[in-house]
Amino acid sequence: MVKFSDTLNRWAHYISGAILLFLMFLTATDVLLNQMFKIRVSGYYELTEVLLIVLVFFAMGYTQQHQGHVSIEFVYERMPLIVKKIFYIIARLVQLLAVCLMTWRLYVYGQRLFAGNYITAVLDFPLGIAAMLGTAGLALFALAVLADLVSMREFKALEDEGCLQNK
């Protein structure tokens, strides 16, 4: 399951990177056209908003996979190993519950957007698609949290480096 999660989240990360690159060129194009010819790219703001949803949510699982989220460690580092592992498990369970709830609620919200035929003003892009893509990104994030919980990846990496001592 860990390898499956890592592979899916790596591909989601590649998609996020491609979106970021596209947004960079889109922004540069919009600025240059506006400065040189006073022409704006039609639907620029809407496209940026929708693509940022995908970019952020698709990158969350990869960030989790590489322990890139913000954490507060000044108390945690001084705990005995067994207490660290207990806190790690509790934290991952709470995180998994929160991410699953967010995924469910975003899915329900996306269904409402589809049912109401909500679209963007300029591009007529269905907002339900953006919500469902966000849901997919959150589901990948939940999978990464579950893989971390099952594998205890953080502790295995530290044990391999010889950093863990049972204090």
- Three-state DSSP class for residue 71: coil
pLDDT of residue 153: 78
Report the pLDDT value the prediction gives residue 118, as an integer from 0 to 100: 98
pLDDT at 166 over 60: no
Residue 59 predicted with pLDDT over 80: yes
Lowest mean pLDDT among 50-59, 68-77, 101-110, 153-162: 153-162
pLDDT in tens, 8-36: 999 999 999 999 999 999 999 999 999 99
pTM: 0.89
Partner residues linked to 119 by β-bridges: 126
* Residue ranges covered by each domain of the chain: 2-161
All residues at 6 or more sequence positions from 56 whose CB lies less than 8 Å from its CB, including other chains: 16, 137
Q: Per residue in 116-145, pLDDT tens?
A: 999 999 999 999 999 999 999 999 999 999
4 token code pair = 């499956």
Structure tokens at 167: 């204090």
Q: Return the SS3 of 119.
A: strand
Q: What angle do CA 157, 95, 4 make, to 5 degrees?
A: 55
Cα–chain center distance at 51? 13
